[in-house]
């Protein structure tokens, strides 16, 4: 499928803002769950279940996006999803604990549509690395501002109701970019069914499964990162600083991958990812067992872990795309992410019911499994496919 655009930069920015609308619930997940826990006195298991329900809706949204996105005008779909997300957030702020699960399932659904729409539009750009870098940088940059402001200024004064109103305002502001999209335009594709979308090579399926494993363990940690900081009795301003800088570093990490490209080969990136990730996890581990410098250890550990997690996601996404020449597999990345975001918080909640060391161990084990797989059979298969493409081009 092709998208013809006379103003590609404006289109990239509009797609990036649409993707940012979809990314806000996930990127703000620890702060949102922590605020909900304090407001409704939720247990760790209930927090994890709520996060999983949200991303169950996200998963449904990703799987149905192939049928929805191809049939609706970009502008109408963006405005519908943005307004629906705002209304659902506002409803959740005035509802009791019993209504939070269905409301957050719907929030996850519309967030997925926005994420998929942004990826689909950006996927049509000629310079995909630049487009994806801009998208990731904008998404994480906006999120860093949100994560700095919410704990330090909003939650401490207005609680969860303030969070819901603030996010609604941000979503409405981001949705103004809808006017940069062409009028009455939708994606045209010959792959209009879920069945055709799932017709991808076995190696790409394996890569998606490994990515799911990697994301599950690390999202479990992400969902409880705020609770870990809370257990260390950090001040709201300190938590805001940690999460704001964390997302800025995540954006910088994404830009660095765009600059490096494939120069590191197929195996070296994963050695770097695992090494850096282990350092981050170890520092967070030390913050839990140390009697001094807890804030510094926690902040440094979280920041280093975020960089490694971002690198891992980008390199694995590139591998998935390389293993499927038709380009269908990369569109299943949000679905894999949705499954991992559904399972991770629930699994993390179960482990956190005893202590947070189990959550850290889960992130390490799943990362180790992913690195072994991508350095072994998946690296071999990528090299084979690259050789086949070169051979076919030469002939």
- 54 by Cβ neighbours in 10 Å (0-12 / 13-18 / 19+) ranks as buried
Task: Kindly report whether the global pTM for this prediction surpasses the value 0.75.
Answer: no
Report residue 212 CA to chain centroid gap: 12
- All structural domains of the chain with their residue ranges: 8-394
CATH 1.20.1250.20 describes domain 8-394: yes
Decide if 102 contacts 114 (C-beta within 8 A): no
Report residue 238 as tokens.
């300190």
**How far apart are alpha carbons 17 and 363 in whole angstroms?**
30
**How far apart are alpha carbons 206 and 361 in whole angstroms?**
23
**How far apart are alpha carbons 380 and 314 in whole angstroms?**
19
pLDDT of residue 4: 40
2 phi/psi in degrees, rounded to 5: -130, 145
Task: Write down how long the chain is.
Answer: 395
Report residue 363 as tokens.
């992130």
pLDDT of residue 127: 59
**How far apart are alpha carbons 44 and 63 in whole angstroms?**
29
Helix 202-223 with 333-352: angle, nearest 10 deg: 40
**How far apart are alpha carbons 126 and 192 in whole angstroms?**
22
Give residues with Cβ within 8 angstroms of 66, minimum separation 6: 191, 192, 193, 194, 197, 331
pLDDT of residue 151: 62
Give residues with Cβ within 8 angstroms of 92, minimum separation 6: 99, 100, 103, 104, 107, 164
pLDDT tens track, the chain, 395 positions: 444 444 577 787 888 888 888 888 777 777 788 888 888 888 877 888 888 888 788 888 888 877 787 777 778 888 898 999 999 999 988 888 788 889 989 998 998 888 888 877 776 666 555 666 677 777 777 777 776 666 657 777 778 888 888 888 888 988 888 777 766 555 444 455 556 666 788 888 999 999 999 999 999 998 888 889 888 888 878 887 888 788 788 888 877 876 776 677 778 889 999 999 999 999 999 999 887 888 999 999 999 999 999 889 888 887 887 787 766 677 678 788 878 877 888 898 888 888 899 999 999 999 999 999 988 888 888 777 766 655 565 55
**How far apart are alpha carbons 339 and 352 in whole angstroms?**
20
Give residues with Cβ within 8 angstroms of 281, minimum separation 6: 221, 301, 305, 360, 363, 364
pLDDT of residue 314: 81
């Amino acid at each position: 499928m092709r998208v013809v655009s006379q103003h590609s930069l404006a289109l990239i920015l509009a797609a990036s803002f649409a993707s940012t609308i979809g990314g806000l619930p996930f990127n703000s997940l620890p702060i949102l769950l922590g605020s909900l826990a304090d407001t409704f006195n939720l247990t760790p298991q209930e927090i994890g279940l709520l996060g999983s329900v949200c991303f169950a809706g996200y998963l449904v949204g990703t799987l149905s996006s192939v049928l929805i996105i191809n049939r609706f005008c970009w502008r109408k779909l963006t405005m519908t999803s943005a307004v629906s997300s705002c209304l659902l957030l506002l409803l959740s702020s005035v509802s009791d604990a019993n209504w939070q699960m269905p409301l957050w399932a719907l929030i996850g659904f519309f967030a997925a549509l926005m994420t998929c729409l942004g990826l689909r539009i950006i996927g049509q750009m000629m310079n995909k690395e630049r487009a994806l870098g801009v998208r990731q940088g904008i998404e994480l940059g906006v999120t860093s501002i949100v994560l700095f402001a919410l704990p330090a200024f909003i939650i401490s004064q207005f609680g969860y109701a303030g969070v819901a109103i603030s996010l609604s305002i941000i979503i409405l502001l981001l949705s103004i970019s809808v006017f940069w999209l062409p009028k009455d335009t939708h994606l045209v594709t010959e792959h209009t069914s879920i069945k055709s979308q799932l017709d991808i090579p076995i190696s790409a399926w394996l890569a998606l499964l490994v990515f799911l494993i990697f994301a599950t363990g690390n999202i479990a940690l992400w969902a409880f990162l705020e609770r870990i900081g809370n257990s260390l009795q950090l001040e709201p301003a300190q938590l805001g600083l940690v999460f704001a800088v964390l997302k800025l570093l995540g954006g910088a990490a994404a830009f660095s991958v765009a600059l490096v490209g494939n120069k590191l080969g197929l195996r070296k990136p994963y050695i770097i990812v695992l090494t850096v990730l282990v350092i981050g996890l170890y520092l967070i581990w030390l913050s839990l067992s140390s009697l001094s410098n807890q804030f510094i250890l926690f902040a440094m550990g979280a920041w280093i872990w975020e960089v490694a997690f971002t690198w891992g996601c980008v390199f694995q996404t590139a591998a998935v795309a390389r293993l499927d020449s038709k380009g269908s597999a990369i569109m299943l990345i949000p679905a894999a992410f949705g499954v991992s975001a559904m399972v991770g918080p629930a699994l993390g909640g179960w482990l956190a019911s005893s202590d947070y060391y189990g959550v850290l161990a889960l992130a390490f084990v799943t990362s180790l499994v992913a690195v072994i797989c991508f350095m072994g059979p998946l690296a071999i298969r990528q090299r084979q496919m690259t050789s086949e493409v070169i051979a076919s081009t030469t002939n």
